[in-house]
Amino acid sequence: MIWNESIECASRDELRRIQSQRLVDTVQRVYQAVPSYRHKMQEAGLVPADIPFQVSDECREISQFLYGKLNCKGVVRFDYIFREGTFFFLEVNTVPGLSEQSIIPKMTRAFGWTVTELFTRMIEECIQ
């Protein structure tokens, strides 16, 4: 039996951070090393970003905060500049593009939903 106290006794947040970093590392390694997977990822419009996991977490937290404070509804897109470790909020796009080449359908598919599922969930949210 292998015992690694720092992992076995880690908090849920720390385990989530470790697992997410391992996933990012694996996806980047596969993207770089396996041409067939790289091609499939490029076809889907997915290219692994070279950003630390903590940075994407911080961006997500800021976006969730702004979504609530600005009383946003449905799908929006927040634009930022990230420079020298700091996020600079530029704007919120309350009507982001939904064409096949736009980021929202690509993110929807990456999340595992179809665009139809996204629209269905948006309609159901409005009805409630």
Q: Percentage of residues in the chain with pLDDT exceeding 70? A: 96
> What does the alpha-carbon distance between residue 128 and residue 120 come to, in Å, rounded to a whole number?
12
Report yes or no on whether pTM surpasses 0.75. Answer: no
Look up residue 102 and give its DSSP letter: S
Can you tell me the mean pLDDT for 56-79? 91
Listed by start position, the domains of the chain span 10-46
> What does the alpha-carbon distance between residue 116 and residue 105 come to, in Å, rounded to a whole number?
10
Number of residues assigned to the chain: 128
DSSP 44-101: TT-------HHHHHHHHHHHHHHHHHTT--S--EEEEEEETTEEEEEEEESS---STT
pLDDT of residue 89: 92
pLDDT range class, residue 30, cuts 50, 70, 90? confident
Structure tokens at 128: 């409630």
By three-state DSSP, how is residue 42 classified?
A: helix
pLDDT tens profile 35-52? 888 888 888 777 766 677
pLDDT of residue 68: 94
